[in-house]
């Protein structure tokens, strides 16, 4: 029997595990981009306002994401999955959970931003997102690229999903 993934709201006790997931999940991307000084000083990655979820496997935090509410959508912030647990559907499950919250709150979409140079745009397209805007980022910098392009992506929620179980196979 495969262990199940539990998705739940983060608590203060998760802070160290969340920081570890961020560090190891984003480590390969730091060669491509990092928060600019003014972004890091204003709000360190992983400490944004909003609701934080964690995904647990065998009572260990293996993924995290945050979201906040806007007029017609929920904004996804800092989706991170531990490298040992990537490509197992955990990110999709977290995003589906946020979809259900969006519907419950009367929102019609979830929105996120990603850096084009990371190669994550096609990953999010496979998860149902479509690019809606792109521009030179003023929030991130790179030692490789003279300019980074931040892509705003939207996933429209067209029908009720129903209840998303907290215990996932």
**pLDDT by 10s per residue, the chain, length 169:** 455 899 999 999 999 999 999 999 999 998 898 887 766 655 554 455 689 999 999 999 999 999 999 999 999 999 999 999 999 999 999 999 999 999 999 999 999 999 999 999 999 999 999 999 999 999 998 989 999 999 999 999 975 544 443 443 3
CATH class as words, domain 5-160: alpha beta
Task: Give me the DSSP letters along 13-27.
Answer: GGHHHHHHHHHHHHG
Q: Are 151 and 139 in contact (CB under 8 A)?
A: no
* pLDDT for res 95: 96
Question: Given this model, what pLDDT does residue 86 score?
Answer: 94
Predicted confidence at residue 4, as pLDDT, reads: 87
**Of 79, 64, 51, 53, whose CA–CA distance to 18 is shortest?**
64
Cα–Cα distance for residue pair 22/10, rounded to 1 Å: 14
> Distance (Å, rounded) from C-alpha 105 to C-alpha 67?
13
Question: Looking at residue 161, what is its pLDDT?
Answer: 45
Q: What is the pLDDT of residue 43?
A: 55
* E-strand stretches of 29-108: 34-35, 51-57, 60-69, 73-81
Among residues 84, 99, 7, 88, the alpha carbon closest in space to that of 52 is found at 7
């Amino acid at each position: 029997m495969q262990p199940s993934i539990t998705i739940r709201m983060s608590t203060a006790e998760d802070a160290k595990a969340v920081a570890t997931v961020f560090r190891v999940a984003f480590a390969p991307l730091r060669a491509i981009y990092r928060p600019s000084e003014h972004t890091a000083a204003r709000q360190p990655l992983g400490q944004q306002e909003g609701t934080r979820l964690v995904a647990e496997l065998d009572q260990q935090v293996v993924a995290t994401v945050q979201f906040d509410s806007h007029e017609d959508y929920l904004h996804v912030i800092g989706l991170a999955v531990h490298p040992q647990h990537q490509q197992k559907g955990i990110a999709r499950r977290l995003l589906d959970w946020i979809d259900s919250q969006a519907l419950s709150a009367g929102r019609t979409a979830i929105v996120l931003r990603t850096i084009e140079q990371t190669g994550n745009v096609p990953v999010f397209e496979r998860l149902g997102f479509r690019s809606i805007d792109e521009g030179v980022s003023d929030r991130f910098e790179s030692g490789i690229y003279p300019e980074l392009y931040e892509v705003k992506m939207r996933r429209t929620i067209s029908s009720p999903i129903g209840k998303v179980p907290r215990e996932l196979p």
